[in-house]
């Protein structure tokens, strides 16, 4: 157990490798109640969020979710987040370590009748992830989960208690994130584990959460993206709608980054034995060309993998580089990400 963002969080329950494989092969549950939730209401809420974030909020239908970023004026990333569209309001879901910073940043850009409220303390958030996740959740609800496709949600009941059922996650597996009134959290936690007993369901800690997201090449704020990076160099250009909507904070700098790229976030596999870690230096022909931002041992691939920023043109797939691991240069290769891809399922159909 470790302190994290004002909470005491579990690194592991039964072991990181075992928990990782449980999520990849069956089903596991993460208590991620530390995440932040903001409710945005009022006339002009859509325009406010479109100015605040890089994706196009106007494209969201009721019941849809959008991955996005907030930027500083210089194009650096304030945070990456999710935007949920309800019938009469929006919900922003932000990283726990950035909660106060994000709320203050968003609040400083309010105008007109738009209001933003931090409701983080009202919710617990349980993520049920893995190929058997739908089988578990379906035992607890009357909702048709086949209709809740990837990046959509609906308000329904889980274990007889009302919650937001969201088909999202941070593992690369099929799964659901359940936003639960905090008073009902223990009841639903117990109900989930009872429903998942036949599938070998297990609680999963932060250690496996990190190794799962790394295999899926999902960015982690504070490692792969932060105030010093922009979404273009981080490979997040697909959530930056610079042509299809109006202005947004940081747009001018994002356009410059598109026109004058200098570095890119890449994925690499180690070709020798070793485990790359954050801040390990990357080399090519004896010249330092970058630095690792996230790294570790892949339980599914049984090799060291990592992400890091490199100067151009060392970002090209197949480029041979070296990773300095504790003073030892280990050969590596730039590869296409994600490192691991799960078999396709019905949840991959876009809503």
- Our CA dihedral for 92, 239, 164, 33, rounded to 10 degrees, sits at -60
Read off the pLDDT band of 9 (50, 70, 90): very high
Rounded CA gap, 193 and 188, in Å?
9
Q: Residue 318 CB: number of other CB atoms within 10 A?
A: 8
Q: What are 232-252's pLDDT values in tens digits?
A: 999 999 999 988 788 999 999
Contacts 24+ apart (CB under 8 A), 67-70: 67/151, 67/239, 68/239, 69/225, 69/231, 69/236, 69/239, 69/240, 70/102, 70/105, 70/106, 70/249
Res. 350: pLDDT tops 50:
no
**Residue linked to tokens 């209001």:** 115
* Cβ proximity of 32 and 125 under 8 Å: yes
DSSP string, 88-124: S-EEEEE-GGGHHHHHHHHHTT--TT-EEEE-GGGEE
**Residue linked to tokens 């210089």:** 74
Q: What are 22-68's pLDDT values in tens digits?
A: 999 999 999 999 999 999 999 999 999 999 999 999 999 999 999 99
Average pLDDT of the residues in 159-179: 98
Rounded CA gap, 225 and 217, in Å?
12
- Model's pTM, two decimal places? 0.96
**Residue linked to tokens 């799964």:** 175
Res. 351: pLDDT tops 50:
no
Read off the pLDDT band of 345 (50, 70, 90): low
**pLDDT at residue 246 in the model:** 84
**pLDDT at residue 245 in the model:** 83
- Token representation of residue 174: 């099929």
Rounded CA gap, 303 and 297, in Å?
6
- Token representation of residue 337: 């990400």
C-alpha dist (Å) from residue 53 to 6, 71, 97, 250: 26, 7, 19, 9
C-alpha dist (Å) from residue 299 to 13, 207, 323, 339: 17, 12, 20, 11
Res. 180: pLDDT tops 90:
yes
> Domains in the chain, ordered, with CATH?
2-213 (3.30.1360.120), 262-339 (2.40.30.110)
Read off the pLDDT band of 346 (50, 70, 90): low
- Token representation of residue 223: 């490692």
Instruction: Please count the residues of the chain.
Output: 351
Rounded CA gap, 334 and 313, in Å?
11
Q: What are 162-171's pLDDT values in tens digits?
A: 999 999 999 9
Rounded CA gap, 281 and 288, in Å?
7
DSSP string, 136-191: HHHTT--S-GGGS-BTBEEEEEETTEEEEEE---SSSS-EEEEEEEGGGHHHHHHH
Across the chain, mean pLDDT equals: 96
């Amino acid at each position: 157990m470790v302190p994290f963002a004002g909470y005491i969080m579990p690194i592991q329950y039964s072991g990181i490798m075992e928990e990782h494989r449980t999520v990849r092969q069956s089903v596991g549950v993460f208590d991620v109640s530390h995440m932040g939730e903001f409710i945005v209401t009022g006339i002009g809420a859509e325009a406010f969020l479109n100015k605040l974030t890089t994706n196009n909020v106007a494209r969201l239908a009721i019941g849809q979710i959008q991955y996005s970023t907030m930027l500083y004026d210089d194009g650096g990333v304030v945070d990456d987040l999710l935007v949920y569209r309800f019938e009469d309001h929006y919900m922003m879901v932000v990283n726990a370590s950035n909660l106060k910073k994000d709320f203050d940043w968003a609040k400083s850009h309010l105008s007109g009748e738009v209001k933003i409220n931090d409701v983080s303390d009202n919710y617990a958030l349980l993520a049920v992830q893995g190929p058997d996740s739908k089988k578990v959740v379906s035992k607890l609800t009357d909702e048709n989960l086949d209709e809740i496709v990837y990046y959509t949600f609906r308000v329904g009941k889980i274990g007889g208690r009302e919650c937001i059922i969201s088909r999202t996650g941070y593992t690369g597996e099929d799964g659901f994130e359940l936003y639960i009134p905090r008073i009902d959290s223990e009841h639903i936690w117990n109900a989930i584990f009872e429903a998942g007993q036949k599938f070998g369901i297990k609680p999963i800690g932060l250690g496996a959460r990190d190794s799962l997201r790394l295999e899926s090449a999902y960015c982690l704020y504070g490692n792969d993206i932060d105030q010093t990076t922009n979404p273009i160099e981080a490979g997040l250009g697909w959530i930056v709608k610079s042509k299809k909507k109006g202005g947004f904070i940081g747009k001018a700098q994002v356009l410059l980054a598109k026109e004058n790229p200098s570095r890119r976030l890449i994925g690499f596999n180690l070709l020798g034995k070793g485990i790359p870690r954050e801040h390990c230096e990357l080399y090519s022909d004896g010249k330092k060309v970058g630095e690792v931002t996230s790294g570790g041992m892949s339980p599914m691939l049984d090799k060291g993998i990592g992400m890091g920023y490199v100067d151009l043109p060392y970002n090209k797939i197949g480029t041979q580089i070296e990773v300095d691991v504790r003073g030892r240069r280990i050969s590596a290769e730039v590869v296409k990400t994600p490192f691991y891809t799960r078999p396709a399922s019905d949840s991959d159909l876009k809503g």
